[in-house]
Amino acid sequence: MEGVQHRMVEVNGINIHIAEKGEGPVILFLHGFPELWYSWRHQILALSNMGFRTVAPDLRGYGDSDIPESVDSYTCFHMVGDLVELIDVLDPREGKVFVVGHDWGAILAWFLCLFRPDKVKALVNLSVPFLRFDRNIKPIELWRAYYGSDHYMSRFQEYGEIEGEFAWVGMDRVEKEFLTDFPVLLPKGKLFKRPLDEPITLPSWLSEEEANYYVTKFQKTGFTGPLNFYRNFDRNWELLKPWVGCKITTPAKFMMGDKDLVYHMPGMKDYIHNGGFQEDVPSLKEVVVLEGVDHFISMEKPDEVNQYIFDFFSRFH
């Protein structure tokens, strides 16, 4: 990662670690679970050579950023508060940047555009489309009803429980399992499909050295910060009631893989392809679904993702 600079930035009362490279208009990259700024390594190198200043933080609770202890410190408002102040630090003159999000980072990017459209020039989101919130739905309950109580989001709810199970399995194994084959179900006593004594074959797009970068960081921090994002899912839906029915007006593009677990959630394909997504995001320019591609799209198909981002953002400067 030659030429990538690292620094700590104080925003919203906490310290956030950022990695950055290049000169030009800022692209802010927002990672997902269980990831780090490092998931954007291919984008940072490529787009910094294409005339952009690329910036990727470790989100609150992750990596070298601060990890607030209270579960209550991980609502959508805390996260977006971090991002708004970070944008002001990165671009003090205009206070407006390009944004790319993946997984939880995509969710936060949609929220950022919902609350503060003045902060985002244009958006490319990966893997998670805008999730229409409903006054009467609690998403964790909905997914539990569909998938059963072993659904990974349900298993993440009880503070300390899944952390204990992860610790028993070992951070190395847990992180590599998630990056290799993100599990939809996490049955108690047998979290992953593979027996624990069976070695993991990492996917072709992830080297042992790259995987170990994640492992080293999570061995230091644990998973509680990242899991607290999920522990606020239903709470966020309550807090978002004033925005029910609001549209995302930011120019946006969306890309995901057809093997992504999110694509196969109940109602998701219908929402993405049959008008719902476009209705909620009227300025959505394009949806691309890559064949044979899984969840970690920015690492699995870096060249396609880089070109997609470059082509779209180049229109705006």
pLDDT digits (tens, 9 = 90+) for 224-254: 999 999 999 999 999 999 999 999 999 999 9
Q: What is the band of 152 on the pLDDT scale with cuts at 50, 70, 90?
A: very high
Q: What is the band of 134 on the pLDDT scale with cuts at 50, 70, 90?
A: confident
Q: For each of the domains in the chain, give its residue range(s) and CATH number, in order of start.
A: 5-314 (3.40.50.1820)
Position 1 scores a pLDDT of 79
Asked if 246 and 111 touch (Cβ cutoff 8 Å), the reply is no
pTM: 0.98
Q: Which of 225, 16, 233 is nearest to 108 (CA)?
A: 233
Structure token pair of residue 236: 């966020």
Q: Please confirm whether the linkage preceding 92 is cis (ω < 30° from 0).
A: no
Beta bridge partners of 105: none
- The number of angstroms, rounded, from the C-alpha of 174 to the middle of its chain's C-alpha atoms is 18
**Could you give the residue numbers annotated as active site?**
103, 230, 295
Q: How far apart are CA 47 and CA 97, in angstroms?
A: 14
Residue 94: CB partners within 8 Å, gap ≥ 6?
A: none
DSSP codes joined into one string, 121-147 = EEEEEES-------TT--HHHHHHHHH
Predicted confidence (pLDDT) at residue 136 exceeds the cutoff of 90: no
Q: Following CA atoms 311, 128, 277, 229 in sequence, which dihedral angle do they give, to the nearest 10 degrees?
A: -130
